[in-house]
């Protein structure tokens, strides 16, 4: 299939959903956003219910141990967990959000660096036919390597949109996301449920469509990833 058929697709994931009722406002943003919902939080199930009613894609935002040992919140996976405990904890989190199509890591700069906990994680995802988004909180993540080993569909984040909340930074990060999408055909951005982010995206998402970008659920990019890579390689070969 020609490369152009997949060109300029963008998926934007809103992380950290579930702690605040105001998170529900993000469901009113235009386009096919994906929402990463924290397990066992005050509004996680309420949000998931309304997202499912609107045919919005949701994934489990599973807390994983960070290098700074920051508090994980409920459902967190840690390096001191044996296999049975990690898999049971992950299973309970998934059972609380039955509509999810995939999983991504909340924090995880420590846990994702180790093969064993990633193997145990991918065993669970493989059995449930769920994909994994590596949030790439560390350049040393082993998550995608292990996911490939276990045959779990996977993909990685390109840009954090709102690591700083100034308009200049939001615009700069969005531009980087668009440049990646133009260069390789698709791009994945992660944002968070800040009021400033909501206000920015309200107009920015409409502008993306007007500029010829296609905003798609994350699962669309996961499913197309291998076709995308082949198409990109073919396009590069033709230019040489």
Name the β-bridge partners of 61: 104
Name the superfamily (CATH) of residues 8-238: Glycoside hydrolase/deacetylase (3.20.20.370)
Q: What does the pLDDT read at residue 230?
A: 67
Angstrom distance (rounded) from CA 115 to CA 83? 12
* pTM for the predicted model, two decimal places: 0.92
Q: What does the pLDDT read at residue 3?
A: 43
DSSP letter string, 91-111: HHHHHH-TT--EEEEEE-TTG
Angstrom distance (rounded) from CA 57 to CA 87? 24
Pairing of the two strands 214-215 and 9-17: parallel
Q: What does the pLDDT read at residue 6?
A: 55
Q: What does the pLDDT read at residue 4?
A: 46
Angstrom distance (rounded) from CA 123 to CA 119? 6
Kindly give the interhelix angle for 143-150 and 115-128, rounded to the nearest 10 degrees.
50
Return per-residue pLDDT of the chain as tens, 240 residues: 334 455 699 999 999 999 999 999 999 999 999 999 999 999 999 999 999 999 999 999 999 999 998 989 999 999 999 999 999 999 999 999 999 999 999 999 999 999 999 999 999 999 999 999 999 999 999 999 999 999 999 999 999 999 999 999 999 999 999 999 999 999 999 999 999 999 999 999 999 999 999 999 999 999 987 666 667 677 777 776
Q: What does the pLDDT read at residue 225?
A: 79
**Domain limits, the chain:** 8-238
Q: What does the pLDDT read at residue 1?
A: 37
Q: What does the pLDDT read at residue 103?
A: 98
Q: What does the pLDDT read at residue 146?
A: 98
Q: Match 């700074």 to its residue by tokens.
A: 68
Q: What does the pLDDT read at residue 157?
A: 98
Q: Which long-range contacts (CB under 8 A, 24 or more apart) does 142-147 make?
A: 142/112, 142/113, 142/114, 142/115, 142/118, 143/105, 143/112, 143/118, 146/115, 146/118, 146/119, 146/121, 146/122, 147/118, 147/122
């Amino acid at each position: 299939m020609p490369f152009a058929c997949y060109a300029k697709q963008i998926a934007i994931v809103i992380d950290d959903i579930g702690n605040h009722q105001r998170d529900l406002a993000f469901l009113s943003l235009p386009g096919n956003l994906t929402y990463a919902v924290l397990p066992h939080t005050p509004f996680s199930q309420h949000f998931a219910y309304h997202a499912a009613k609107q045919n919005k894609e949701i994934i489990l935002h599973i807390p994983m141990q960070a290098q700074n040992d920051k508090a994980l919140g409920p459902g967190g996976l840690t390096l001191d967990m044996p296999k049975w405990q990690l898999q049971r904890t992950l299973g309970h989190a998934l059972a609380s959000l039955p509509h999810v199509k995939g999983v991504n890591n909340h924090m995880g700069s420590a846990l994702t660096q180790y093969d064993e906990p990633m193997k145990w994680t991918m065993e669970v995802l493989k059995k449930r036919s769920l994909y994994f988004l590596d949030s790439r909180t560390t350049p040393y993540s082993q998550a995608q390597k292990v996911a490939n080993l276990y045959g779990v569909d996977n993909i990685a984040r390109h840009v954090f949109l709102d690591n700083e909340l100034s308009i200049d930074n939001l615009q700069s990060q969005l531009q980087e996301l668009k440049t990646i999408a133009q260069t390789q055909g698709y791009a994945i951005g992660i944002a968070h449920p800040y009021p400033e982010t909501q206000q920015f995206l309200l107009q920015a998402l409409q502008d993306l469509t007007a500029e010829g970008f296609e905003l798609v659920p994350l699962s669309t990019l996961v499913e197309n990833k291998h076709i995308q890579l082949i198409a990109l390689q073919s396009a590069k070969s033709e230019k040489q």
